[in-house]
């Protein structure tokens, strides 16, 4: 799992994980604490969030290549495991 350096402004407790939506292949960021999802990052800020739960939000971990292709490689946490 790869986390982002972008800060969560709402709950402020969780880390943002890069994930790929299984049904559409769309990359989004998901808070590992409150499960809020974000599909938009503008000028380093998160766009409007949504609750990323339910069968339509089945996802898998994104790869570095997928994150780079989305233009978000700059926000990959270097201390990832």
What is the per-residue pLDDT across 4-58, written as a single tens digit (0 to 9) for each? 999 877 677 778 999 999 999 999 999 988 899 999 999 888 998 899 988 878 9
Query: What whole-number distance in Å separates Cα of residue 65 and Cα of residue 42?
Result: 20
Model pTM? Answer: 0.88
Contact between 52 and 36 (Cβ < 8 Å) = yes
Q: What pLDDT is recorded for position 13?
A: 76
Kindly report the CA angle at 51 between 48 and 57, in degrees rounded to 5? Answer: 115
Query: What whole-number distance in Å separates Cα of residue 62 and Cα of residue 75?
Result: 13
Domain ranges in the chain?
16-75
Retrieve residue 49's tokens: 């969030």
């Amino acid at each position: 799992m790869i986390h982002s350096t972008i800060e969560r402004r709402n709950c402020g407790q969780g880390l943002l994980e890069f994930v790929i939506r299984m049904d559409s292949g769309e990359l989004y960021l998901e808070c590992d604490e409150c499960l809020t999802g974000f599909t938009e990052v503008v000028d380093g800020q998160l766009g409007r969030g949504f609750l990323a739960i339910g069968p339509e939000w089945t996802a898998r971990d994104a790869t570095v290549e997928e994150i780079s292709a989305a233009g978000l490689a700059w926000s990959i946490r270097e201390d990832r495991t």
